[in-house]
A and B are shown apart, each in its own frame.
Chain A
Amino acid sequence: MSTPIARPYLEVKDLNVRFETDDGIVQAVTDSSFSVERGKTLGIVGESGSGKSVTSLAVLGLHRTRSNAKVSGEIWLDDQELVTATDEQVRKLRGGKMAMIFQDPLSAMHPYFTVGSQIVEAYRVHHPETNKKVAREKAIDMLARVGIPQPERRFNDYAHQFSGGMRQRAMIAMALVNDPSLLIADEPTTALDVTVQAQILDLIRDLQDEFGSAVIMITHDLGVVAELADDVLVMYGGKVIEKGPAIDTFQNPQHPYTWGLLGSMPRLDREVRDRLNPVKGTPPSLINLPDGCAFHPRCPYAGRNGNRSFTEVPMLRGDVHKVACHLPPDDRTTIFQQEVLPNL
């Protein structure tokens, strides 16, 4: 039985990830669905513990080595289902067709091996027929392409001998050495200072144009998403609570949590008010998620429509721009226009 409509290049359907721990079951990701096409960028935003990283690690099949992790749902990459695939099938895709850039390149690179040898290793595992010399040239070429000066010399350096920005470039070179068609970047600029951040983002965008990859950009920095993403996924408590085209989501955010995220962004183009407006309260425990909408204990607008029962989980609703919120759309529009927008 073949489907007449082609699947998106990456399609994740009803993804659930849970970890069994001594304290209970951690429901890290609940019923998440999204998709990315080649050449497009999906931004996933949310605070720490919202399930962003766990989602991306699930796509790469990196929870498989953890015996306490349970992943269910469907992950389709280029018409191949990955949740039910064997470990060996997924391993062969990892680092080849799909690759990942990690957050902190100092801890993500092995301290005892040279940067060059780590790139060579990444290349040769997917090109076992190549000899060391060819792989070495490929690695040096890759280092040059990500803008590392004197790549032949830096090839023999260790990660701790690189500066933060150069280290992240090397990490990117390692991820891209096999021309992946899906690239997941997990907070690639968090550990870097602002000027370097911009360079790294430019680099990722340039390389995406060159390779035509699908990119997932995980971040808590909405500025990064605004700059790079075609679509946005907002996650809270392991659930997707809002998703839509990036421009639309920024201009017309629908979920009170998204408003909170926008409100907590520092802005240089406005007069300095007293302080930032952080989202009040703490992220929910993933072992005991609040009933119904996970955000309701922190939501300043919860119960506005007289509905004080939160037992029901709000569904993602909408055509292109979707949101999961109990508040009726009209009320939300009014609140956003009158109470939120003037303070952004």
Chain B
Amino acid sequence: MLAYIVRRLFNAIITLLVVTAVTFAIFFAIPKATGSDPALLYIGKQSDPAAIEGIRTKMGFNDPIIVQYGKFLKGIVAGRDYANGPDVTHCPAPCLGYSFSTDQEVTPLLMEDLPVTLSLALGAAVLWLIIGISFGVISALRRGTFIDRAAMTTALAGVSLPVYFTGLLASAIFIYWLEWLPQGQYVPFTENPAEWFTGLLLPWITLAFLFAATYARLTRANMLETLGEDYVRTARAKGLTERVVIGKHALRSGLTPIVTIFGLDLGALLGGAVLTETVFNLRGLGYQALTAIRQNDLPIILGVTLIAAFFIVFANLIVDLVYGWIDPRVRLA
């Protein structure tokens, strides 16, 4: 098991390195392709050539790309100093550079947005796991009945309706028409847990609806397959109650594929749920990324991309480890 963990960990680090290299290359290539000068983006168009050259030296835009990449990596791991002669700015680790548009450090900017996205994604995940899996299991057990058809039709709607539709519809009904919920606003959990909860409830439901639909369909398909397995028949032949047969023997293997997809979904969401954050005006990573894209703010885009990649790789690592724990056959492979 230890060798397995070490191997996975090593893979994760390699993947992250490749991701940083690729995103950095894009970061470097885009200004070239669009003919814009990153130094100009920092300082504004009317500046004199000396000031522009100063920025170039300070930000290291004159260095070869490989050196820039090296400094960028060092910045993430150990922090870095931007220097132009006596003018030195220290950027502490993990340093992701400075925003083009506001000149702020990227890392603290993103760390401010992270709790919003984290709250949104984790809360929604809890909801969609509970709803998706229970409806999937019930549908599989009551295959072909009214409950099954109703659940699967709803699920089909959930998969096909985009978040900006269901989100706006939900806002219209619950906030403006029924007035059950206050107009959405993010309140940090540490400030007021109750308002944190009510503010996020609709975004959670909207996001969970989308994912619960996929999970219900997936769970149903997996459960139907597992229920036909020989070892489920064996479990029944032993005289186990139906509750144990389903809840222990069938569910254990029926839910294994869910673990994989859940890791990927959650990892992707933690990098920013762009649509949901925009619809509900939540200032999370997705919202930040969208703003950055509009303003061509490359350091922020790069930062969000790296955080998103980190979460996906990290989630995958967790999935691999959990998988090794669930399925003893994986450990040997």
Which chain A residues have a beta carbon within 8 Å of chain B's beta carbons? Answer: 60, 62, 65, 91-96, 99-100, 102, 104, 107-113, 121-122, 125-126, 158, 160, 174
Contacts and interface: CB of A to CB of B under 8 A. Distances in A.
Nearest to B252: A112
A129 to B, nearest CB: 15
B40 interface: no
Contacts of A94: 236-239
Contacts of B229: 107
B237 A91 contact: no
Q: What are the 6 tightest A-B residue pairs by CB atom distance, in nearest-first order?
A: A95-B239, A95-B238, A94-B239, A107-B230, A122-B238, A110-B231
Given A158-B328, A158-B329, A160-B329, A109 B234 contact: yes
B239 A102 contact: no
A216 to B, nearest CB: 14
Contacts of B328: 111-112, 158, 160
B236 A111 contact: no
Contacts of B237: 60, 62, 94-95, 99-100, 102
A122 B249 CA distance: 13
A210 to B, nearest CB: 21
Contacts of B37: none
B242 interface: yes
A112 B253 contact: yes
Contacts of A158: 328-329
A88 to B, nearest CB: 9
A112 B229 CA distance: 13
A102 B230 contact: yes
A93 B252 CA distance: 25
A102 B253 contact: no
B236 A110 contact: no
22 contacts: A62-B233, A65-B236, A65-B242, A91-B241, A92-B239, A94-B236, A94-B238, A95-B240, A102-B233, A102-B234, A102-B237, A107-B229, A108-B230, A108-B231, A108-B233, A110-B234, A110-B249, A110-B252, A112-B327, A125-B241, A160-B329, A174-B238
Contacts of A107: 229-231
Contacts of B234: 102, 108-110
B238 A125 contact: yes
B43 interface: no
Contacts of A122: 238-239
B235 interface: yes
B194 interface: no
Contacts of A174: 238
Best-buried of B229, B230, B241, B329 by chain A (most CB within 10 Å): B230
Contacts, number: 68
Given A93-B239, A94-B239, A110-B231, 4 more contacts: A62-B233, A95-B238, A95-B240, A108-B231
Contacts of B242: 65
Nearest to B237: A100
Contacts of B249: 110
Nearest to B232: A110
A60 B233 CA distance: 11
A125 B233 contact: no
Nearest to B242: A65
Which residue, of A94, A104, A110, A121, has the highest number of chain B Cβ atoms within 10 A?
A110
Contacts of B239: 91-96, 122, 125-126
Contacts of A95: 237-240
A60 B239 CA distance: 10
Contacts of A125: 238-241, 244
B26 interface: no
A77 B221 CA distance: 37
Given A111-B253, A112-B253, A158-B328, A62 B236 contact: yes
A174 B231 CA distance: 13
Contacts of A113: 252
Interface in B199-254: 229-231, 233-242, 244, 249, 252-253
A65 B329 CA distance: 29
A2 to B, nearest CB: 29
Question: Which of B231, B241, B253 gathers the greatest number of chain A CB atoms within 10 Å?
Answer: B231
Contacts of A93: 239
Contacts of A60: 237
Contacts of B252: 110, 112-113
B168 interface: no
Nearest to A112: B252
Contacts of B240: 95, 121, 125
B326 interface: yes
Nearest to B241: A91
A111 B241 contact: no
Given A102-B230, A104-B230, A111 B238 contact: no
B141 to A, nearest CB: 10
Interface string B316-330: 000000000011110
Contacts of A126: 239
A89 to B, nearest CB: 11
A71 B234 CA distance: 20
B321 to A, nearest CB: 16
Q: Among the interface residues B235, B238, B252, B253, which one has the most CB atoms of the partner chain A within 10 A?
A: B238
Nearest to A184: B237
A309 to B, nearest CB: 41
A111 B332 CA distance: 13
A96 B239 CA distance: 7
Contacts of B230: 102, 104, 107-108
A110 B329 contact: no
